[in-house]
Amino acid sequence: MRTTITTIAAFAIAGVATAHEGDVGLKIIDGSIVTGIVDDGPGGEIVLPGERVFAGEMFEFGGQIYADGPGLFAEVGQFPDSDLIFDFASPVQRWNGSGFESTTQTFTLEYGPMSATSPAAGSGAGFGIGVGPAGFDEHYDFYLNDAETGVYLLALDFSSSDAGIGAALTTYLVFNNGEDESVHDAAIEYVEDVIIPAPASLAVLGLGAFAMRRRR
């Protein structure tokens, strides 16, 4: 299993929903986990908070439909010695051309010997991985079970074993298994605009115009 990953490279504007084909950056702000993307800073990569939608491409590997990202990244000094935990916020959903609907497909996430499969209904337990103040850059292995061509939405909730750290808002991973990229883009746009739309105050100010298309 992979336990090291590629780095995150993208741009985000805090508070404006944009999708990024890359890893999930994690930062602690005001005592809670916040997700974002990573850009090059003067001393290395830094997490730019405000992103909750991440895109991924799946491919066949060893007879299974697989992805090794989005992964997880945190800067040095962000997390204490603790476990970073993910849970499934909801069952997997599949894009039908105008929205997401229930599906029989599930995702299994693995990391070393640990494994968890998304629930058929409601929320479901995941597992934790050890992190610390040195920062981290890790990947789960994602497997699509009973795979069919399509675009799939996987919603994850990140939290910490440290009781003093609040959980993150739900993170949305939009995976493409063999669909045209225009279909993938339409599904991502739906998540951005309908599931987690930009705050109304930003729309009034016209800041939505700064939202960027995801990088290829």
Band of the pLDDT at 21, cuts 50, 70, 90?
A: low
Residue at 3 is within a domain: no
User: What is the predicted pLDDT for the residue at 46?
Assistant: 83
Mean of all residue pLDDT scores within the chain: 84
Higher pLDDT, 43 or 166: 166
| Cis peptide leading into residue 70 (ω within 30°) | yes
Nearest to 123 by CA among 90, 97, 82, 100: 90
Residue 95 tokens read as 């894009």
Range of the domain at 26: 19-210
User: What is the predicted pLDDT for the residue at 16?
Assistant: 34
Nearest to 5 by CA among 142, 132, 114: 142
Residues with Cβ within 8 Å of 204's Cβ and at least 6 positions away in sequence, in order, are none
Residue at 12 is within a domain: no
Residue 114 tokens read as 């640990």
Q: Are strands 32-41 and 24-29 parallel, antiparallel or unpaired?
A: antiparallel
202 pLDDT higher than 80? no
- Helix ranges, the chain (H): 181-190, 200-205
Q: What is the SS3 assignment for 83?
A: strand
Residue at 216 is within a domain: no
Residue at 167 is within a domain: yes
The angle formed by the CA atoms of residues 194, 122 and 57, to the nearest 5 degrees, is 55
Q: For residues 22-36, give the mean pLDDT.
A: 93
183 pLDDT higher than 50? yes
Residue at 166 is within a domain: yes
Residue at 8 is within a domain: no
Q: Per the structure, how many domains does the chain have?
A: 1
Higher pLDDT, 66 or 201: 66
Q: Could you say which DSSP state residue 182 is in?
A: H
201 pLDDT higher than 60? no
